[in-house]
Structure 1
Amino acid sequence: MDIVSLIAKPGALDAALVDSLRNAWGGGVVVWLSEGEAAEFALLAAPSNFDAVRADIADQVDLNLLPAEGRRKAMLLADMDSTMIEQECIDELAEEAGVGPHVKAITARAMNGELDFEGALTERVALLKGLPETVIAKVLAERITPMPGGRTLVATMTRAGGHAALVSGGFTAFTEQVAARIGFAEHRANTLLAEAGHLTGEVARPILGREAKVTALEEITARLGIAESDVIAVGDGANDLGMLDRAGMGVALHAKPSVQERCALRVNHGDLTALLFLQGYSRAEFAA
């Protein structure tokens, strides 16, 4: 049995649309997880026109189809930049270094899979050479903001006994603070090298990229004694595709086009609490 999930911005999900799809596809009783925001119904089999309908309503609703069994996951594995926070940390550092537009252009291409991640990261970090280390704290305080719904997502899954891990192709100087602010149990990322209080323009090896995120999935699930199918992973860039493919539930959140094409589960209208709706949590079950 499958579940059809519909998620929109609060107040934007039309009950008539939900009922129309349920009737057209012969679905079960509609369950509202959040009035005007998230609803779902069961189906015995996937409809043949699902992709066409999804495309037709993509400008207003996130329509997803997922198995009814095993929806509530025991672990969250999340990317950081443009996923758990609203920014790309390296772009914000680049603004402070006076090379913002150049670095942002490279970041956009790398996250869409147009450039090799490791090479693109090395090139961008080199442009930060000489930047005072103190700028990191300044960027964290003045430029970095959490993605809406992130704290609720982590708190709700943690309260239910889940484990939350932050894995980033960014930098530990940021993941340490972001993980603490949002409530992650652990974090992994790259290390910016510094000397005499200034960035050297280099990053420690090995570089954590796409394969390292898959390794994190393998290692953490093995340590916790859970299956990869017990994991919900979320990300937005090409270097997230490995973990999104391997996790039991891989969600592309406001993702780059090349990533959305590869992911069955996509969220473009909801915030991070959409990952709770996809697992069948109602808003009444969210942690405060």
Structure 2
Amino acid sequence: MTLVATLIANPARPAITDAVLAEARRVLRTDHLPRILHGEVAAELLVPGEAEAAPGFTEALRAALAGEPIDVAVLAHDQHRRKRLFLADMDSTMIEQECIDELADMVGLKPQVAEITERAMRGEIAFEPALCERVSLLKGLSVDIIDGLIRDAIRLTPGGRTLVATMRAHGAVTCLVSGGFTLFTGPIGATLGFDETRANRLSVADGHLTGAVEEPIVGAEAKRATVLELRERLSLSPADTLAVGDGANDLPMLAEAGLGVAFRAKPKVAQAARVRIDHGDLTALLYLQGFSAAEFAA
């Protein structure tokens, strides 16, 4: 069997130099020449070895390049490398903010709500009760502020549009699955180009939030169930599936996917996921699948 090692830097901070590639070849004990995916931003190396050796190679390469702003992953080089189903978390993954924290800012409670959000995403407290507690603090907020909030406070994570467009251009089905709210996933999912979106519904009466979340709540198990549902509908194997997220409520989804990626994730998630991206932008997920920058869709 052949493995493939992918080295990825942030496009704003290229770092895959000849010296880095030489060190990677030494650590991985490979005679293969690197395939350059994008200048000094991304490259890959074929590595002889079995799948069981991949985690060890990844850790050895990460240790050798410690201090460099480079993400590394060693994965199987097989027919399932390019995925046919992509599921993504929204908050702090496809966008840079947590929407509920931005809503709380509208009522002067952002510090309190953000602290609960952080603890929930770290896995220190259960997601569902933490969500209900935070939403209760938003009671009375007008839904009319949502469009302006998305326009003024929400920023798409770099590389997200390219990631979704490229995967769709190559036949993948894409789904934005969030523990956040449909009031945000609808417009944001459309902007990013997702085929489908799943999220929680905020209870609304007379144009204002009631402080409640409609059942069922989209939490960790619902995210995992979405992977299973879409995979069955599309008659795909686990190996055909890619998922990305940053919080503890994403862990079951990441574990269920053939390739689960922790993106700038909380420590618990980064430690558990098969692949972690700490430096690259979201196009890193394309490089992991063997796409070169020349193959990216606009």
TM-score range, shorter chain: over 0.9
Residue of structure 2 in register with 1:68 after alignment: 77
Of 180, 199, 214, 2:224 maps to: 214
Residue of structure 1 in register with 2:65 after alignment: 57
Q: Aligned pair 1:138/2:148, yes or no?
A: yes
Deviation per CA, 1:56-106: give whole Å up to 9, x if none. 534411011111112100011000001111110000000011100000000
Structure 1 unmatched runs, 5+: none
- C-alpha change, 1:208 and 1:90, in structure 2 (3 Å) is same
User: How far off its partner does 1:34 sit?
Assistant: 0.6
Q: Aligned pair 1:245/2:255, yes or no?
A: yes
RMSD: 1.3
Residue of structure 2 in register with 1:98 after alignment: 108
User: How far off its partner does 1:50 sit?
Assistant: 4.1
Instruction: List aligned pairs for 1:156-235, cutoff 5 A.
Output: 156-235=166-245
Instruction: List aligned pairs for 1:1-12, cutoff 5 A.
Output: 1-10=2-11, 11-12=14-15
Residue of structure 1 in register with 2:134 after alignment: 124
**Any conservation in 1 of the 2:27–2:61 contact (CA below 8 Å)?**
no
Alignment coverage as a number of residue pairs: 288
AA paired with 1:2? L
Q: Distance in 2 between matches of 1:25 and 1:212?
A: 39
Residue of structure 1 in register with 2:264 after alignment: 254
User: How far off its partner does 1:181 sit?
Assistant: 0.3
User: How far off its partner does 1:149 sit?
Assistant: 0.5
User: How far off its partner does 1:239 sit?
Assistant: 0.4
**Any conservation in 1 of the 2:28–2:61 contact (CA below 8 Å)?**
no
AA paired with 1:6? L
Q: Aligned pair 1:278/2:291, yes or no?
A: no
- Report % sequence identity: 50
Q: Aligned pair 1:15/2:18, yes or no?
A: yes
- C-alpha change, 1:24 and 1:228, in structure 2 (3 Å) is closer
User: How far off its partner does 1:24 sit?
Assistant: 3.4
Structure 2 unmatched runs, 5+: none
Tell me the TM-score normalized by structure 1: 0.97
**Any conservation in 2 of the 1:19–1:30 contact (CA below 8 Å)?**
no
Question: What secondary structure is seen at the aligned counterpart in 1 of 2:106?
Answer: helix
Q: Distance in 2 between matches of 1:260 and 1:52?
A: 17
Q: Distance in 2 between matches of 1:150 and 1:74?
A: 17
- C-alpha change, 1:17 and 1:244, in structure 2 (3 Å) is same
Q: Distance in 1 between matches of 2:214 and 2:109?
A: 22
Question: What secondary structure is seen at the aligned counterpart in 1 of 2:178?
Answer: strand
